[in-house]
Structures are given as structure tokens and as C-alpha cells.
Amino acid sequence: KRPADLANIYFLRQKETRGLGHAVGRARTFVGDEPFAVLLGDDIMKSKVPVTKQLIDAAEKYGASAVGTQAVPDEALARYSSLKIEALEENIYRVTDMVEKPKPSERFSNYAILGRYVLTPDIFDILDGLEPGYGGEIQLTDGLKKLCAVSPMVAVDFEGVRYDTGNLKGYLEATIDFALDHDETGEWLREYLKSKSELL
Ligand code: G1P
């Protein structure tokens, strides 16, 4: 009930699987002409300050769009995206270019966009004009590449742990870590895992 009291909740079904950029473009009807946040449901974050709040603070400070980032290992980069960045302060970078699902020769850096964005509504016109990119889908990254060429964008190397629940191991890690921290389940799970570790 609490979230329902905090906000008006709208949803929209993406009737065809045409990519993340296409999905975000569908939200134009209820976002209107305001900055907005995009949270990818399979990227779960555990942090003291919500990652979206960290991005909002940076977006306001720099009058920019903001994307969440962390450095990922070389072998993982091809599953994500790669940002071209210049340092502005310890954990905030200016973004000047990017590439979705980079081949090794296309990489700008090991900083990938990870699941959180704060965007200005000028992304919508850009998304409407995009041709399909990687995988034949309309890629949000391709839209952001155009956006960062015409207006300021920052990347925030956010404080927090990110779980990729799009794969089974990441899903289990997130479930275990959140359950260990939870008042109702923490103590029980610790004992349960100990009992299992005797079997290993
Ligand atoms: C999406 C984005 C990609 C980003 C990734 C983070 O990819 O397109 O830029 O790095 O999320 O999880 P997807 O997971 O849809 O392949």
C-alpha cells in the first residue's frame, strides 16, 4: 500500500520486443516534458543511498543527464556497453561517447552503463528517429550516444553493489545477500547456510 500512496502508477505493455530504446520511447505519453528515471528491473542495487538518488544529485549538480556506471572486467564488457569518459570529480565523469555490446576493438573504457539512468525528455525525439542497432533492436545506448553529443551527460560510478539478476548466479547472490540482511530471515538463513556448509 505504501508505494501506491507515494505515486501514481502507470504501466504500458511493450507489444513487440523491439529493444530497450523502443520501450523507453513508449513512456513518452506519461513522462511528458520532464526529466525522468529509467530503472532496469534485472539490475538490482544494494546501496546506502539509492543509486537513482545518487544519479539525480549528479544530474542536478551538472545540469546534465546521468547514467549509472561501474568498471566491469574485460571479459564481461561485451554483455554491456562501454563509455568514453573524462573525470570531473572522484566518482563522476563527463560522457562524450559510448557503444552498446562492444567488440574488443570498439571499447572506450571498462566503464559500462549499469541499469540506472536519469534522462531529459529530449531523448524521446532522438529515440523516435533511431534505426535498429545491436541485435536488430532499438538501443537506448544508441540514443544516448546522440544525446551526449548535443547536451551534457555525466556517468556516476555509484556507491553500492549491483547484482545482474538476468543470470541465475546473480539472482541467487542477490536473494541470499538481501535475505541475510533482512530482520525476518537473516538469523535463520545464517544457520541454514552453516548447516549446508557441513556438507561441502
Ligand atoms: C542493457 C543496456 C546496456 C547495459 C545493460 C546493463 O543491456 O542496453 O547498455 O550495459 O543493460 O545491465 P541488456 O541487459 O538489455 O542486454
Question: In the structure grid, which three cell numbers stand for residue 151, read together?
Answer: 547536451
Beta bridge partners of 82: 99
Which atom belonging to ligand 1 lies closest to the Cα atom of 166? 14
What three-state secondary structure class fits 33?
A: coil
**Whole-number pLDDT of residue 117:** 98
Q: What angle do CA 189, 192, 197 make, to 5 degrees?
A: 120
Q: How far apart are CA 119 and CA 152, in angstroms?
A: 11
Ligand 1 pocket test: pick from 80, 106, 137, 145 the residue with the most ligand atoms within 8 Å of its Cβ.
80
pTM here? 0.94
Ligand 1 neighbour 115 (Cβ under 6 A): yes
Tell me the CA–centroid distance for residue 183 and ligand 1, in Å: 32
Ligand 1 neighbour 40 (Cβ under 6 A): yes
Kindly report the protein residue whose alpha carbon is nearest to atom 4 of ligand 1: 80
Q: How far apart are CA 115 and CA 52, in angstroms?
A: 10
**Whole-number pLDDT of residue 156:** 98
What three-state secondary structure class fits 191?
A: helix
Ligand 1 pocket test: pick from 81, 106, 108 the residue with the most ligand atoms within 8 Å of its Cβ.
81
Q: Which residues contact 170 (CB under 8 A, 6 or more apart)?
A: 163, 164
**Whole-number pLDDT of residue 38:** 98
Residues of the chain scoring pLDDT < 50: none
Distances (CA, A) of 65 to 32, 93, 109, 147: 16, 12, 19, 9
**Whole-number pLDDT of residue 130:** 97
Kindly report the protein residue whose alpha carbon is nearest to atom 6 of ligand 1: 114
Question: In the structure grid, which three cell numbers stand for residue 92, read together?
Answer: 563522476
| pLDDT tens track for 123-152 | 999 999 999 999 999 999 999 999 999 999
Amino acid in the structure at residue 8: N
Beta-sheet strands, E only, within the chain: 36-39, 43-46, 65-71, 81-89, 92-100, 111-119, 153-157, 161-164
Which of 155, 152, 154, 173 lies closest to 164 in space, CA to CA?
Answer: 173
Tell me the CA–centroid distance for residue 22 and ligand 1, in Å: 14
Q: How far apart are CA 120 and CA 57, in angstroms?
A: 14
**Whole-number pLDDT of residue 165:** 95
Element (H, E) at 55: helix 51-62
Kindly report the protein residue whose alpha carbon is nearest to atom 1 of ligand 1: 80
